[in-house]
Amino acid sequence: MSSRKIRVLVAKPGLDGHDRGVKVVARGLRDAGMEVIYTGLHQTPQQVAETALQEDVDVVGLSILSGAHMTLAPRIKELLCENGMEDVLLLVGGIIPEGDREKLLSAGHADQVFTPGDPLDKITAYIFNQFQESTSS
């Protein structure tokens, strides 16, 4: 990978309109030096996967507070793989009960899950760590 900025797509799949968290995270990642694209609300899994491909992102962050994460996250992972983006880092944030978090991680439907109370630093540090070897500082 070149020394370009880490490109992140933050997305709101599903019908839930709670966008406070996703906007704070988007801004935090941008302030930390990443290139951030925000999909806006009410995206279908197809729309999220297509935007990820078009924008050629390194990271996809899903924000889901509606309880539909066990349907939406696996579907988006599947579509990303169909688009040849199996290596993209897939993060899920929102109201995710502990049991579901373990299922998402163990099934490979998410690389990491963040929940309310996790500070922004934790998310940015996680992403930077994942790209430490491939990006020049």
Partner 1 sequence: MDQEKLERIKALKELWAKEVEELKTREELPVTVSGKPVQALYTPLDTADLDYEEDLGFPGSYPYTRGVQPNMYRGRLWTMRQFSGFGDAYDSNRRYRYLLEQGQTGLSVAFDMPTLMGYDSDSDRSLGEVGRCGVAVDSLEDMEILFDQIPLDRVTTSMTINGPAAILWCMYLANAEKQGVGLDQVGGTIQNDILKEYTAQKSWIFPPEPSMRLITDIFAFASDHVPRWNTISISGYHIREAGSTAAQELAFTLADGFAYVEAGINAGLDVDRFAPRLSFFFNAHIDFFEEICKYRAARRIWARRMKEKYGAKDPRSLMMRFHTQTAGCSLAAQEPENNIIRTTTEALSAVLGGTQSLHTNSMDEVLALPTEKAVKIALRTQQVLAYESGVANTIDPLAGSYFIEALTGQMEAEAEEYFRRIDDLGGVLSAIDQGFIQQEIADAAYEYQQAVDRNERVVVGVNRYNTAEPMEIELLKIDPQVEKKQLERLKQLKEKRDGVKVADCLADLKKSAAASDNLIPKILEAVRCYATEGEIASALKEVFGEYKEKPLF
CA dist 79 to 30, 48, 95, Å?
26, 9, 23
33 is a contact residue toward partner 1 (CB under 8 A): no
Q: Which stretch binds partner 1 (CB under 8 A): 53-61, 64-72, 77-85, 125-133?
A: 64-72
Question: In whole angstroms, how close is the CB of 21 to partner 1 at the nearest point?
Answer: 9
Q: Which of 106, 117, 129, 136 binds partner 1 (CB under 8 A)?
A: 117
119 is a contact residue toward partner 1 (CB under 8 A): yes
38 is a contact residue toward partner 1 (CB under 8 A): yes
Q: How many residues bind partner 1 (CB under 8 A)?
A: 36
C-beta of residue 114 within 8 angstroms of C-beta of residue 123 = yes
C-beta of residue 76 within 8 angstroms of C-beta of residue 60 = yes
Three-state SS sequence of 9-42: EEECECCCCCCHHHHHHHHHHHHCCCEEEECCCC
24 is a contact residue toward partner 1 (CB under 8 A): yes
72 is a contact residue toward partner 1 (CB under 8 A): yes
